[in-house]
Amino acid sequence: MTNRSRVLLAFLIAPLAAPVVFFVFSFVYAMLTSTTGPHVGTFLLSTPVSYLATLLIGLPSVIMLRRVGYLSAPTLLLFGAVGGAGVQVLFFTVFFRYRNLEFESWNVISHWIILGTALGLSVAVSFCLIGRITWCSWRNPPPTGRSGN
């Protein structure tokens, strides 16, 4: 399998990591708080959001990082964490406004940011493993143009 086909496969499979992590998180949270458990709706709702975020944030990030020569696991993990937190905050801001709910406290918001970071990291880690992106993948050497010395 070529590098390009592995990266394409990573784009197709890695976004499923976020809904799985979100479902497990919801299940554990429900067990700890004695509330109703997650349902299939959790997975079905978070899957399109994950694929949309991958298309709008992940794909441009990978293209840009590859073009500048810094496509590696650390940079993808950073972009995944920040992107996941941003998507989570945006999604739940829209969700809360749509349902006419208010945030209870900054503590609640911080939990959603942490969850979003974990979801973004789960997609980035999956992408790196499937696409075989290593700690120094596709890093171009610095330009060696003549300096006139």
pLDDT tens for residues 22-74?
888 888 878 888 777 667 777 788 899 999 999 999 999 999 988 888 889 99
What is the C-alpha separation between 87 and 94, in angstroms, rounded?
11
What is the structure's pLDDT at 141? 52
| Predicted structure pTM score | 0.81
Beta bridge partners of 139: 70
**Cα distances (angstroms) measured from residue 53 to each of 9, 124, 144:** 17, 12, 37
The answer as to whether 96 is a domain residue is yes
The answer as to whether 137 is a domain residue is no
Scanning 34-58, the segments in alpha helix (DSSP H) are 40-53
How many domains does the structure of the chain reveal? 1
What is the structure's pLDDT at 3? 79
Q: Bigger pLDDT: 105 or 120? A: 120
What is the C-alpha separation between 26 and 29, in angstroms, rounded?
5
The answer as to whether 73 is a domain residue is yes
**Domain region containing 63:** 3-131
The answer as to whether 123 is a domain residue is yes
The answer as to whether 71 is a domain residue is yes
The answer as to whether 19 is a domain residue is yes
DSSP 3-state assignment of 72?
coil
The answer as to whether 141 is a domain residue is no
The answer as to whether 144 is a domain residue is no
What is the C-alpha separation between 38 and 25, in angstroms, rounded?
9
